[in-house]
Structure 1
Amino acid sequence: MSKKADKKLIVDMISESEFTVQGHGVHTAYKEITDALRKRKDIDIEVNSKRPSDIIHIQTMGLYSFRHLIRKGGKKVVSAHIVPDSFIGSIKGAKYWKPLGRMWLKFFYKKADLVLACSGMVADELINDMNVPKTKVLYNTIDMSRYRHSAAEKKLARKKLDLKDNDFVVMGNGQVQPRKRLDILIKAAKKMPDVKFFWVGGIPFKNLGADYHAMQNMIKSAPDNLTVTGVIPLEAVKDYYVAADLFVLPAMQENHPMCVLEAAGAGLPIILRDIPQYDDTFKGDAVMAKTDDEFLDLIDLLRKDKKAYSKACLGAGKIAKRFDSSAGAERLVEFYRSLI
């Protein structure tokens, strides 16, 4: 091995979510990959440092991050967690300022030495629609071992959440915003009063969130067997995955959501909307719903049909194996070294 390959890389990880809004997938993705890199002996990593670094890896897109993007020294790597469509149904008035948002993203990404897209579809949009040629794919990953659990741990998690051993528990996770489609779980909860439903998440951007008041009213309309937790610490989210029997994400637009990886790590069967963004990540292993009504049918099927449930669990296991953080960190370090 050459001295160049032996050299310990100094990495400065930049994320504005350390001191601003958390409770969203970009923050989770940043935390997961940072933790995975900290376990490696060939990486010396700090967060939001100003020290001279070989690699300055930027996770968020604000002005603080931009100052690091243009600072002298070090190769600049930007993780592309969002594309222009990510704004729609997330932030208030996005349909009006989406063109400006697109210009900013394009300007920001083109300043980098390497852009890491979180899915093949995001990479395709960056390269072909936004003319960002220095783009590669690095899928989001998590430490799957953190979500594995025993039957005793499941029983304890259910006790903490005031659930009975025989309750069938369905959970979703994410910000409460129009594109996530919490209304699908509300509809399912009303149709299945004997099932316990949880939506883990809230509106972290408060009044800036898309349709904020409508979302608040939707939460209030939820039946007693559906609990919306609001924004809770990442460490507390694990109890819901451990306690649950099934994970459902009815979102209309996603890139490579962290919550699906967390559900896979917990071994939960996963129901997703059949959208193109999942074609190179989850399709074939998650259960796919083509329509709103099909979500309700699939929830009902998986809670009643043990064979279908077992098959869906096997699919979740394949997702967990494919997106474990140790593999993601290895690939990321290869990208780093290719720039030095």
Structure 2
Amino acid sequence: MSERQPTEDTPLVVNMASESDVSVQGHGVHTAYVELALALERRDDVTLVRGGYGESVECDVYHLHTLGSAMWRKILDPRAKKVVSAHVIPDSLVGSIRLARYWRPLARRYMRWFYGRADRVLAVSGTVARVLQDELRVPAERIEVLHNTVDMRAYRTTPADRTAARRHLDIADDAFVVVGVGQVQPRKRMDVFEQLARRHPDVVLIWVGGVPFKHLGAEYGAMRRLMERAPANLLFPGVVPHPEVRRYLQAADVFCLPAEQENHPMCILEAAGVGLPVVARDLPEYDDTFGDDVLRCQDGTFADAVALLRDDRSAYATWQQASARIAERFDSSAAAERLVGIYRDLVADVGPRVSA
């Protein structure tokens, strides 16, 4: 426990860290970390210290977003409370990292150790919460569901913004554009996105993202061949800075994420903030988050969903309204308010921790 003993009138000092600050940034964990950090920095009741990798920091609370060795001194520091955002569970690695199926048991043991050191583990969905408790053995009383959020004000898009984005990206004003975002990997089901392009040669499809981990990525050779042999209407701009990702979303008509395993993807939140109808795979992870506000598909129905949104203006408007509901639910200001309450509850608890 920190010796500072902050009161209701004293700002909490929180050391928030994600190793993506000093490594690869083209993924949703980094975006989630940045969005939450920005939301806390706008508040007067928190002093946020970012980073400090490989070292302990004088603070009331550590809030960690990644699980690497640069976090060990923080997660083991007895002077402050520890909060960990569970962006990753064992199944997140399969289809993302090469040979993950073979070392998944080792990853599970490591996650049990790391999450078990935390005073609170923040699950990004109900499904993640169940995995934390049932597979990773985190005590139920230490788990809280806190969904990823974004500052929706930053994504609001006007017709003028859309026109400017298309001009910047050299996209025709009359093109019907479908955008997907994420690493190019089998788990994202790039084969489905490619088939969409072949089924709809009149539609421009853009997948924003690349293979940032190169040969460590699952099926790296196959993913490179898919990109090299893609039809002319399927574009891969690669890993781009985050403001450029937002520009691609602003230029789009529809957002599509056919991934077969997700927890609570930031890209859907961002697309909803822009006002795009969202087409996604029908996953149980979405039951308690997006529900029926995304057009949920299976392999054989993605093409029909895109055609519906292209050809039926009434249906398009209906799914835009559904995205507006997502944007309202997952704005970062409400998440920051709840998170500060979690921090204060932890710091006020001066009793002994239960051993994990």
User: TM-score when scaled to structure 1?
Assistant: 0.97
For residue 69 of structure 1, the aligned residue among 68, 75, 100 is: 75
Structure 1 segments unaligned to the other structure (5+ residues): none
* Residue identity matched to 1:156: A
Post-superposition Cα deviations, 1:65-95, rounded to whole Å, max 9, x if no partner, equal: 1221112311011110011000000000000
For residue 92 of structure 1, the aligned residue among 70, 79, 98 is: 98
* Residue identity matched to 1:193: P
Task: Look up the match of 1:211.
Answer: 219
* Residue identity matched to 1:220: E
Task: Look up the match of 2:304.
Answer: 297
Q: What displacement does 1:20 show?
A: 1.0
* Residues in 1 aligned to 2:59 and 2:110: alpha-carbon distance in whole angstroms: 25
Q: Does residue 256 of structure 2 align to residue 248 of structure 1?
A: yes
For residue 242 of structure 2, the aligned residue among 234, 242, 248 is: 234
For residue 118 of structure 1, the aligned residue among 121, 124, 132 is: 124
For residue 39 of structure 2, the aligned residue among 36, 41, 44 is: 36
Q: Does residue 196 of structure 2 align to residue 169 of structure 1?
A: no
- Structure 2 SS opposite 1:176: coil
* Residues in 2 aligned to 1:162 and 1:225: alpha-carbon distance in whole angstroms: 14
For residue 46 of structure 1, the aligned residue among 49, 52, 72 is: 49
Question: What is the aligned length?
Answer: 337
Structure 2 segments unaligned to the other structure (5+ residues): 1-5, 348-356
Task: Look up the match of 2:87.
Answer: 81
Task: Look up the match of 1:25.
Answer: 28
Post-superposition Cα deviations, 1:192-248, rounded to whole Å, max 9, x if no partner, equal: 111111001011111100000110001112111111111111121111010000000
Task: Look up the match of 1:191.
Answer: 199
Task: Look up the match of 1:334.
Answer: 341
Post-superposition Cα deviations, 1:19-74, rounded to whole Å, max 9, x if no partner, equal: 11110111111011001100001010011234310011111010111221112311
- Structure 1 SS opposite 2:264: coil
For residue 233 of structure 2, the aligned residue among 207, 222, 225 is: 225
Post-superposition Cα deviations, 1:249-280, rounded to whole Å, max 9, x if no partner, equal: 00000000000000000000001100111110
Q: Does residue 166 of structure 2 align to residue 158 of structure 1?
A: yes
* Residue identity matched to 2:60: D
Q: Which deviates more from structure 2 when the two are superposed, residues 90-99 or residues 233-242?
A: 233-242
Q: CA RMSD in A?
A: 1.0
Task: Look up the match of 1:319.
Answer: 326
Q: Does residue 263 of structure 2 align to residue 263 of structure 1?
A: no
For the 8 Å contact 2:32–2:148, the answer to whether it is kept is yes
- Structure 2 SS opposite 1:61: coil
* Residues in 2 aligned to 1:128 and 1:104: alpha-carbon distance in whole angstroms: 15
- Structure 2 SS opposite 1:77: strand
Post-superposition Cα deviations, 1:286-318, rounded to whole Å, max 9, x if no partner, equal: 1110x2120011001110011111110011000
* Residues in 1 aligned to 2:164 and 2:226: alpha-carbon distance in whole angstroms: 31
User: TM-score when scaled to structure 2?
Assistant: 0.93
* Residues in 2 aligned to 1:298 and 1:89: alpha-carbon distance in whole angstroms: 25
* Residues in 1 aligned to 2:101 and 2:180: alpha-carbon distance in whole angstroms: 26
* Residues in 2 aligned to 1:150 and 1:111: alpha-carbon distance in whole angstroms: 46
Q: What displacement does 1:131 show?
A: 1.4
* Residues in 2 aligned to 1:14 and 1:181: alpha-carbon distance in whole angstroms: 30
* Residues in 1 aligned to 2:304 and 2:72: alpha-carbon distance in whole angstroms: 46
For the 8 Å contact 2:57–2:74, the answer to whether it is kept is no
Q: What percentage of aligned pairs have identical amino acids?
A: 50
Q: What displacement does 1:164 show?
A: 1.4
Q: What displacement does 1:129 show?
A: 2.4
